[in-house]
Amino acid sequence: MKTKAALALGAGKPLVIDEVDLEGPKEGEVMVEIKATGLCHTDWFTLSGDDPEGAFPAILGHEGAGIVVEVGPGVKSLKKGDHVIPLYTPECRECEYCLSRKTNLCQKIRTTQGQGVMPDGTSRFSYKGQKVLHYMGCSTFSNYTVLPEIALAKIREDAPFDKVCYIGCGVTTGVGAVINTAKVEIGANCVVFGLGGIGLNVIQGCRLAGANMIVGVDLNPARKALGEKFGMTHFVNPKDVQGDLVPYLVDLTKGGADYSFECIGNVKTMRQALECAHKGWGVSVIIGVAGAGQEISTRPFQLVTGRVWKGTAFGGARGRTDVPKIVDWYMDKKINIDDLITHTMPLQDINKGFELMKAGTSIRGVVIY
Ligand code: NAD
Ligand code: DAO
Ligand code: ZN
Ligand code: ZN
């Protein structure tokens, strides 16, 4: 069949909106009509050429929501008409990683997903007779896409697609980093570096967990008001701090953060986040994805003296299990998504959506098909 899509034909090039060819679902696969998709910083990172795994031509997008239109042979857990959120971190519930209960990094389809193809090693997309790669196993910048059954979370049918698509990445990553990875407890002091689409969800996760101080750090002064709306108690703009930021934050939190979160993707702020954590017990969680080839550093004594450095992907969430619960939290108004979706647009305007992201004007832009 033909479907409308935004094609990434090469690094640094604007997306091309055109019709592409899409093959139907094979064994264990599902075709989904994507109703809405968020634009995440990570799509931009890949398009820019900074992503070491980035390959072209591809159909990007990994933060979608939609409806099952067809299931392939052997699909058991989904049927036509089900509402779903695609998962770039699948959950097969049978690989060594899933069964360990120690990680959400299901490895069942990791190799082929990283290569931009379906588990049988082939792509369902083509353009003008040439193969086009899938992206993060999702390719939500196509109106119709095909995914493995294990990479779809079934969600309730009254949830609005144009809001819950954000649970496909940003919301779950931010809130999950607090709840699943850091396991922030009531009364903890937290510092969040970067108040964008991820960091603001970390802020609301900290509020949900009952944190005491929730300090937001951002160079953009416009993020202060928004942070406060989501539960931030203190705002720090590094440009306004005299001297070093780290001792300033340690002073502010009266000894250091119980938990700090890096939501920028900058190796310098990763170090600051670790070093502002409390001696003896502070935990620092890296969420941001740094550019190809970059490395983190600190003095080992920072770890010897009890600080812990961790990282998280998709907020440590097991997608098929946890995503439907996060949709419930949104529907029950426990979390706020509406105020983070600052711009909506048709697919035709997706490049303008990325311009708004780069300018720091939007928090989340959402394409509505
Ligand atoms: P964003 O661009 O919306 O937000 C980044 C924020 O950081 C902005 O508000 C910006 O003003 C601020 N900032 C930039 N440099 C700064 C500095 N030196 N000091 C203080 N503030 C600074 O990005 P986002 O969508 O929130 O994504 C953040 C990071 O998380 C990206 O690297 C993205 O790739 C990554 N990410 C990781 C996961 C995961 O599972 N680990 C999932 C999604 C996104
Ligand atoms: O190696 O098992 C694995 C999974 C690696 C991918 C995990 C995703 C990391 C987060 C990237 C940003 C997501 C938008
Ligand atoms: Zn994302
Ligand atoms: Zn698995």
To the query of whether residue 190 is one of the catalytic residues in this protein, the response is no
Q: How confident is the model at residue 292 (pLDDT cuts 50, 70, 90)?
A: confident
Q: What is the pLDDT of residues 237-257, one digit of tens each?
A: 999 999 999 999 999 999 999
Inform me whether the pLDDT recorded for 52 exceeds 80.
Answer: no
| Angle subtended at Cα 80 by Cα 79 and Cα 83, rounded to the nearest 5 degrees | 85
For the chain, residues classed under CATH 3.90.180.10 are: 2-168+337-368
Pick the CATH number of 174-313 from 3.40.50.720, 3.40.630.30, 3.40.50.970, 3.30.200.20: 3.40.50.720
Mean residue pLDDT of the chain comes to: 97
At 118 the pLDDT is 98
For the chain, residues classed under CATH 3.40.50.720 are: 174-313
Q: What is the pLDDT of residues 251-279, one digit of tens each?
A: 999 999 999 999 999 999 999 999 999 99
Residue bearing the CA closest to ligand 2, atom 12: 42
Q: Break the chain down into helix, strand, coil percent, rounded to 5.
A: 30, 25, 45
Does the interface predicted TM-score (ipTM) exceed 0.95? yes
Q: How confident is the model at residue 53 (pLDDT cuts 50, 70, 90)?
A: confident
CATH number for the segment(s) 2-168+337-368? 3.90.180.10
At 26 the pLDDT is 98
| Angle subtended at Cα 158 by Cα 156 and Cα 164, rounded to the nearest 5 degrees | 75
Counting residues of the chain whose pLDDT is more than 90, the rounded percentage is 97
At 51 the pLDDT is 83
Counting residues of the chain whose pLDDT is more than 70, the rounded percentage is 100
Name, in order, each residue with C-beta under 8 angstroms of 90's C-beta and a sequence gap of 6 or more: 106, 108, 109, 113, 137, 148, 150, 151, 319, 320
At 160 the pLDDT is 98
Residue type, 213: M
The residue to mutate among 60, 198, 249, having the most atoms of ligand 1 within 8 angstroms of its beta carbon, is 198
Rounded Cα gap, residues 213 and 234, in angstroms: 7
Tell whether ligand 1 has an atom less than 6 A from the beta carbon of residue 39. no
Q: What is the pLDDT of residues 309-333, one digit of tens each?
A: 999 999 999 999 999 999 999 999 9
Tell whether ligand 1 has an atom less than 6 A from the beta carbon of residue 197. yes
Please spell the DSSP secondary structure of 30-58, one letter per residue.
EEEEEEEEEE-HHHHHHHHT--TT--SSB
8 Å CB contact between 164 and 155: yes
Residue type, 93: R
Q: How many residues does the chain have?
A: 369
Tell whether ligand 1 has an atom less than 6 A from the beta carbon of residue 330. no
Average pLDDT over residues 84-101: 98
At 50 the pLDDT is 81
Name, in order, each residue with C-beta under 8 angstroms of 226's C-beta and a sequence gap of 6 or more: 195, 200, 339, 363
Binding-site residues, ligand 2, Cβ < 6 A:
40, 42, 62, 89, 105, 107, 110, 169, 289, 313
Tell whether ligand 1 has an atom less than 6 A from the beta carbon of residue 269. yes
Q: For residue 213, how far is its CA from the centre of ligand 2 (angstroms)?
A: 29
Rounded Cα gap, residues 310 and 257, in angstroms: 14
Inform me whether the pLDDT recorded for 99 exceeds 80.
Answer: yes
This prediction's pTM = 0.97
